[in-house]
Amino acid sequence: MSESATTVEAPSGGLPPATDEPGLIRRYGVTLVFLAPTLVLLTVWVVYPTLRTIHRSFYDRSGDDFIGIDNYRTLFTDDALVTAIKNNFLWLLIVPFFVTAIGLVFAVLLERIRFSVAFKVVVFMPMAISLFAAGVIWRLMYEKDPSRGTVNAAVAVVADAVSPSGVLSGARPSTDELEGSPARGIVLQAPLEAGSVARLGLTAIREADVPSGAEQAVVPEALAGGITGVVWRDFKPGGGTPGELEQGELGLPGVTVELRSQGGEPTLETTTEPDGTFVFEEVAAGSYRAAIGPDTFTEPYAGVSWLSARLITPAIMMAYIWVWAGFSMVVIAAGLAAIPRDLLEAARTDGASEWQVFRRVTVPLLAPVLSVVFVTMLIYVLKVFDIVIAIAPGSVEDDANVVALAMWRTSFGGVNDFGLGAAIAVFLFLLVIPILALNIRRFRREL
Amino acid sequence: MSTAAPAIDATVEAPVVIAEPTSAKILRFLGKTPVYLLLAFIGLLWLVPTLGLLLTSLLPPSIIGTAGWWEVLSQPSVATLDNYRAIFDNEAITSAIWTTLWIALGATFLPIFVASLAAYAFAWLEFPGRDWIFLVVVALLVVPIQMALIPIFSLYNTLGLFDTIPGLVLFHTAFGLPFAIFLLRNFFIGIPRDLLEAARIDGASEFRIFFRVIIPLGLPAIASLAIFQFLWVWNDLLVALTFARDTQPITVAIFSQMRQFSGNIELIAPAAFVSLAIPLVVFFAFQRYFVEGLLAGSVK
């Protein structure tokens, strides 16, 4: 600032020493040509609209009637708008912190590593993509069906490892001789004792869901001192008779069969063969029930509804952090590189642990850079729009709403209430100002 | 892959240098292996979404609605360019790409030219209230785009600029000016005074000085500004969504596809990839200018 003032104070730039006082036009005509386009553009597209929007915010929807601060009252009472403000507040609370923290962690990890450039490029890449395109990407990532949505596919791998889906997720008993439900297991009514043969017929199993390797079902021989039985698909093309094991009906291999005591406690457990048969040898005297355990009927993992009303905002935030982490990392890494090595070395020589060095030396020295990243993120997050509209399906847009989106929807997205829309814009403007005041110091330095 | 290079170096150097550092080096490297693995994992995490979009766009239309992008990895033979052929035959999409390009080019050159003129005046011409006006121009950085949408929407309807490329270009130009002027003025003021004085003594007009001295010397700043502005406009959704209906840039075209037929992935995926391929190329070509722009552009 001061530099420019002194430099131009010198003998008037370029103009020959005037013998007589030239007219204003002659004197500043050239300057005006240089400045006019800027002044016109800024006046028409920025200054006038700003004043007009402030003015408009005190008028009703039609623009004819002055209604004072009613629009602002609506802003803080209307449910949809309050949700937007609350959500935006959450964004401010959560996102800048995580973006800065993740950037810091990445930058510190990268510091002692070769090939850091490759990593930086990969993490920074989403920055070049529009937030809208990033939104489209994550909309696909968040598809609920684990066979399409990447996030749920990854979750499904873990979920299926923890509780694998059963071989017969949709099966039901074929006759009344079996009772129970998939959740508790299906139990054969008739009591069994050593020498009995159990027949457990199931239906409602699609052709494609029959476990591979299934063979023609057979009724096993009775076994002295043991219980035998068969689990089979009690259905053949054409139907067949329920309860009868007929030619063409397949055994169900890999089914867990439990032998339960009269009180319902599982005592023995076994798995069926390719022809559906199973054997419990050497069963103690007494009466038993045969049951197919609930594991067999476990449904495959169905996926988390990321795009549901409850999860939509966190889901969008994660996508947003994915976009911005690279920016934070690159800026913080530059700050890290500027920290004098000998300060860190001195701390280490004095016996500080790596954590202490990080906590007591690196972070305090980085504080200015961290605050720049944090404040920059506050401003961007306040105006977040594209990624929300891209990820949130129309049905949950109300739940994902943020101030900038509410402004657009109110003004142009069907409601078309310019008075209220203008009030939301002014509210956004008022929120930006204090945050920018934080940033002013940096600008003053650069000026 | 990362382990090979340092290990080889170490064994070759070993006989020449001293024995101890070699083992120390290897140990140190092994000690870092968890960090490498962690970073590789994170890198993968950051790569997968974009890669996923690319691979999804290569799935044949018959399975694109039911299969994930990993199908392409497990059976690469299914990959096809059919979806791309389809969008390049789709009049709506191709015209959207051209529209985006014209808007982005126009809204890059125009503001930079206008801002250069003003920045020169603020840096090197003398007139009353100069610094004060400059401060006001820079202060306009705080105005969010949302503040202008409603009045400009009405204005454009009156002037017939609604749904036109010039309308979008002018809007982006005006909102690009404060930052561009701020950046260029600070750059121009660093141009050695003697150069300007010499030109003035030779009788060069201010315009001649501007085009022959300032612009050539200011090119580095102008280039970085151009890249940033180009990407900013190319990636815009909000402004185009408000002021365009049929003259759609690609972002709006994709958005309306998503809203109309949300299951239309065979069109959305390749179109989204095309829309981000150009910024990616620009980004990889001019990475280092990019960060500076973002930092300063936070106020936009």
Contact list in B for residue A141 (CB cut-off 8 A) is 49, 52
Confidence (pLDDT) at A182: 72
Portion of chain A with pLDDT greater than 70, in percent? 89
Asked if B287 lies within 8 A of A447 by C-beta distance, the reply is no
Q: Looking at per-residue confidence, does B10 or A269 come out higher?
A: A269
Asked if A428 lies within 8 A of B144 by C-beta distance, the reply is yes
pLDDT score of A18 more than 50: no
**Confidence tier at A252 by pLDDT (50, 70, 90):** confident
Nearest to B258 by CA among B246, B268, B248: B268
Domains, chain A, in order of start with CATH, read 2-46 (no CATH), 79-145+306-420 (1.10.3720.10), 172-297 (2.60.40)
ipTM score for this prediction: 0.84
Over residues A184-213, the pLDDT tens digits come to 778 887 888 888 888 888 877 777 777 777
Portion of chain B with pLDDT greater than 70, in percent? 85
pLDDT score of B52 more than 50: yes
Confidence (pLDDT) at A189: 79
* DSSP symbols for A374-437: HHHHHHHHHT--HHHHHHS-GGGHHHH--HHHHHHHHHHSS---HHHHHHHHHHHHHHHHHHHH
Confidence (pLDDT) at B286: 78
The CA distance from A392 to the nearest CA of chain B, in Å, is 11
Asked if B66 lies within 8 A of A127 by C-beta distance, the reply is no
Q: Helix, strand or coil for residue B288?
A: helix
Q: Which residues contact B219 (CB under 8 A, 6 or more apart)?
A: none
B86-297 classified as CATH 1.10.10.10: no
Of B33, B146, B236, which to mutate for an interface test with A (greatest number of A Cβ within 10 Å)? B146
Region A122-147 average pLDDT: 89
d(CA A145, CA A302): 7
B215 touches chain A (CB under 8 A): no
pLDDT score of A319 more than 50: yes
The letter for the amino acid at B266 is E
CA-nearest residue to B291 within chain A is: A327
CB A84 within 8 A of CB A403: yes
Confidence (pLDDT) at B14: 39
B26 touches chain A (CB under 8 A): no
A411-417 LR contacts (CB < 8 Å, sep 24+): A411/B149, A411/B150, A411/B153, A412/B149, A412/B153, A412/B241, A412/B242, A416/A61, A417/A61
Asked if A132 lies within 8 A of B254 by C-beta distance, the reply is yes
Confidence (pLDDT) at B9: 34
pLDDT score of B262 more than 60: no
B254 touches chain A (CB under 8 A): yes
Over residues A135-147, the pLDDT tens digits come to 999 998 998 888 8
Region A248-260 average pLDDT: 82
pLDDT score of B31 more than 80: no
d(CA A259, CA A229): 11
Over residues A279-311, the pLDDT tens digits come to 888 788 888 888 887 777 777 777 788 888 889
pLDDT score of B133 more than 60: yes
Order of strands, sheet of A185-188, starting from the edge strand that comes earlier in the sequence: A178-181, A185-188, A288-292, A256-261, A266-271
pLDDT score of A234 more than 70: yes
- Which of A57-71, A262-276, B169-183 shows the lowest per-residue confidence on average (mean pLDDT)? A262-276
**Confidence tier at A17 by pLDDT (50, 70, 90):** very low
B131 touches chain A (CB under 8 A): yes
Over residues B212-221, the pLDDT tens digits come to 889 998 888 8
Region B39-55 average pLDDT: 92
Confidence (pLDDT) at A24: 67
Confidence (pLDDT) at B11: 35
The letter for the amino acid at B253 is A
B257 touches chain A (CB under 8 A): no
Confidence (pLDDT) at A7: 40
Confidence (pLDDT) at B292: 57
Confidence (pLDDT) at A294: 76
d(CA A273, CA A220): 11
pLDDT score of B159 more than 90: yes
Region A246-255 average pLDDT: 82
Q: Which residues contact B204 (CB under 8 A, 6 or more apart)?
A: B212
Q: Which of residues 85-124 of B touch A (CB under 8 A)?
A: 114-115, 117-118, 120-124
pLDDT score of A166 more than 90: no
Q: How many CB pairs under 8 A join A and B?
A: 283
Q: Helix, strand or coil for residue B198?
A: helix
Confidence (pLDDT) at B291: 58
Q: Looking at per-residue confidence, does B13 or A390 come out higher?
A: A390
Portion of chain B with pLDDT greater than 90, in percent? 46
Portion of chain A with pLDDT greater than 90, in percent? 34
pLDDT score of A312 more than 90: yes
CB B116 within 8 A of CB B291: no
For the ranges A64-78, A113-127, A177-191, the maximum mean pLDDT occurs at A64-78
- Alpha-carbon distances, residue B41 vs A108, B37, B46, B48 (angstroms): 16, 6, 9, 11
Region A320-348 average pLDDT: 89
- Alpha-carbon distances, residue A379 vs A94, A423, B297 (angstroms): 13, 19, 10
Average pLDDT over all residues of chain A? 84
For the ranges A21-35, A297-311, A333-347, the maximum mean pLDDT occurs at A333-347
B287 touches chain A (CB under 8 A): yes
The CA distance from A161 to the nearest CA of chain B, in Å, is 19
Confidence (pLDDT) at A202: 81
Measured CA angle at A67 (ends A65, A68), to 5 deg: 140
Confidence (pLDDT) at B288: 63
Confidence (pLDDT) at A92: 95
Region B175-198 average pLDDT: 91
pLDDT score of B297 more than 70: no
Region B280-295 average pLDDT: 70
The CA distance from A397 to the nearest CA of chain B, in Å, is 12
Task: Break chain B into its structural domains and give their ranges.
Answer: 4-80, 86-297
Asked if A447 lies within 8 A of B36 by C-beta distance, the reply is no
Confidence (pLDDT) at A244: 77
Confidence (pLDDT) at A19: 45
Confidence (pLDDT) at B16: 45
Confidence (pLDDT) at A22: 57
The CA distance from B237 to the nearest CA of chain A, in Å, is 6
**Confidence tier at A419 by pLDDT (50, 70, 90):** very high
Confidence (pLDDT) at A46: 96
Over residues B135-153, the pLDDT tens digits come to 999 889 889 999 999 999 9
Give this prediction's pTM.
Answer: 0.79
CA-nearest residue to A149 within chain B is: B68
Confidence (pLDDT) at A441: 63
* DSSP symbols for B138-195: HHGGG--THHHHHHHHHHHHHHT-TTSHHHHHHHHHHHHHHHHHHHHHHHHTTS-HHH
Using CB atoms, pick whichever of A49, A147, A421 lies closest to residue B148: A49
Confidence (pLDDT) at B294: 55
Contact list in B for residue A147 (CB cut-off 8 A) is 66-68
Over residues A35-72, the pLDDT tens digits come to 999 999 999 999 999 999 999 999 999 888 999 999 99
pLDDT score of A243 more than 90: no
Region A342-362 average pLDDT: 86
Confidence (pLDDT) at A8: 39
Q: Looking at per-residue confidence, does A182 or A402 come out higher?
A: A402
Confidence (pLDDT) at A149: 86
